[in-house]
Amino acid sequence: MKNKQKFMLQRNVHPNLILLVLLIIILILSIISLGLGAIYITPSEIIQNLIGEGTSSQKFILSNYRIPRIIIAIIVGSGLATAGAILQGILRNPLASPDVIGVTKGAGLAAVIIIVLFPASPIIYLPLAAFIGAAIIAVILMLFVYKKGAQPNTLALVGIALGAICQAGIEYFMIKFPDDVSATLLWLTGSLWARGWDQVYILLPCLILIPLLIGLTSKLDILSLGDDIATGLGERSKFLRYILLGVSVVLIGVCVATVGSIGFIGLIAPHIARRIVGSKFKVLLPASALFGAILLLVADSLGRGLFPPIEIPAGIITAVIGAPYFLYLLRSERKKT
């Protein structure tokens, strides 16, 4: 624990200042990211465009393709990270994350079914289905884990098994309907390619959750003390847990529905945030969200900027960054115990 104190800055720096710095970083990253891609636009040109001057072709690219994409990256990144932070809080397991416990795969399976079986269905069905898929997996998980007395370890193993079953289902549909294979594959890896305003409109309602989450942060702090203490402090801990789980499942479902199953953000963003702002949820939650947004922005920008005009799906980049970090965490977990 002493070692950890070194990383925490909250003693010297006001948490709001950290959040402000993170916001500024997001802003700068967004401007850089807007320029990257098959047609490069310099930051100064971007600012010119944003204040209403600039060439019409650049304006077209920016307003139709890149701006919605950046907005999606920010919302999805912060959504996944928030969901991860909540899961880690209510399960009191630092390794819990949407992808490890199989919820992402559940959303993925549901969405693939919609994509290949009902290609003509209106676009709003996709997030709905993804949410239902995520919720089904979450419910099964809860059934398994609660019987056993909420052992965090069991949760990970049950999640992995459920994930494997969903994966088999996804693969089945991909093989059965090979015409859609490129679409489903890109979607499964997770990519912001060709996402536009339509997807932004799907995501926007999620912002309603923000005030709810702000209200819940203090409860999360109490819950993380353990069920007994939380009950002692007058909280209906089980009920709260379900509410919070529900919120994170909604977030995961909607995010996965928009960009596909982008992995590891829900896992590593809360970890980085915890290192910098400490583990009080009042600061941790917004910090995780901002870090999540930064991570996805960086991943998407790298994907677009490394080898233009080829785009590397953002999900691949997050996996390349996230998996080693996860293994490192696993290692340090071991040393602690």
Partner 1 sequence: MESIVKAKVKIYSTAITAIVLLMLGIIISVSVGIADIDLVMILKSFFEINPSKEQLIIQTLRLPRAIIGALVGANLAVAGALMQAITRNSLASPQVFGVNAGASFFIVTAFALFPSLSSPSLVFSAFIGAAVGGITVYSFASGGGMTHVKLALAGIAVHFLLSSLTQGIIIFSEQAKDVLYWLVGSINGKSWTHVMIILPWSISGLFIALLLSRSISILVLGESTAQGLGQQVNRIRMLAGILVIILAGSSVAVAGPIGFVGLIIPHIVRRLVGGDYKRIIPFSALFGALLLVYADILARFIAYPFESPVGIVTAIIGAPFFLYLAKKGRNIKQ
Read off φ and ψ for residue 195, nearest 5 degrees: -95, 135
Query: Which CB, 25 or 185, lies closer to partner 1?
Result: 185
Measured from the CB of residue 37, what is the shortest distance to partner 1 in angstroms? Answer: 17
Query: Which CB, 24 or 161, lies closer to partner 1?
Result: 161
80 counts as binding partner 1 under rule CB under 8 A: no
Measured from the CB of residue 239, what is the shortest distance to partner 1 in angstroms? Answer: 27
Read off φ and ψ for residue 200, nearest 5 degrees: -60, -40
Residues between 305 and 334 with contacts to partner 1, criterion CB under 8 A: 310, 312-313, 315-316, 319-320, 322-324, 326-327, 330-331, 334
Measured from the CB of residue 325, what is the shortest distance to partner 1 in angstroms? Answer: 9
Cis peptide before 15 (omega within 30 of 0): no
Query: Which CB, 67 or 103, lies closer to partner 1?
Result: 103
Distance CA 300, CA 244 (A): 29
Measured from the CB of residue 202, what is the shortest distance to partner 1 in angstroms? Answer: 24
Q: Which two tokens stand for residue 153?
A: 């370890």
Distance CA 223, CA 203 (A): 28
Counting residues that bind partner 1 (by CB under 8 A) gives 49
Task: Show the binding pattern over residues 167-186: x = contacts partner 1 (CB under 8 A), - = does not.
Answer: xxx-xx-xxx-x--xx--xx
Nearest to 299, CA basis, from 206, 190, 207, 209 = 190
160 counts as binding partner 1 under rule CB under 8 A: yes
Query: Which CB, 285 or 317, lies closer to partner 1?
Result: 317
Q: Which two tokens stand for residue 187?
A: 């979607």
Nearest to 174, CA basis, from 112, 220, 85 = 112
130 counts as binding partner 1 under rule CB under 8 A: no
Determine which helix (DSSP H) or strand (DSSP E) holds 241, and give its type and residue range. Answer: helix 237-259
Measured from the CB of residue 179, what is the shortest distance to partner 1 in angstroms? Answer: 9
Distance CA 265, CA 190 (A): 12
Among 47, 164, 212, 214, binds partner 1 (CB under 8 A): 164
161 counts as binding partner 1 under rule CB under 8 A: yes
Nearest to 274, CA basis, from 262, 292, 247, 258 = 292
The count of residues in the chain is 337
User: Is residue 279 helix, strand or coil?
Assistant: coil
Distance CA 48, CA 41 (A): 11
Measured from the CB of residue 310, what is the shortest distance to partner 1 in angstroms? Answer: 7
- Binding residues vs partner 1 (CB under 8 A): 95, 99-100, 144, 148, 153-154, 156-158, 160-165, 167-169, 171-172, 174-176, 178, 181-182, 185-186, 188-189, 263-264, 310, 312-313, 315-316, 319-320, 322-324, 326-327, 330-331, 334, 337
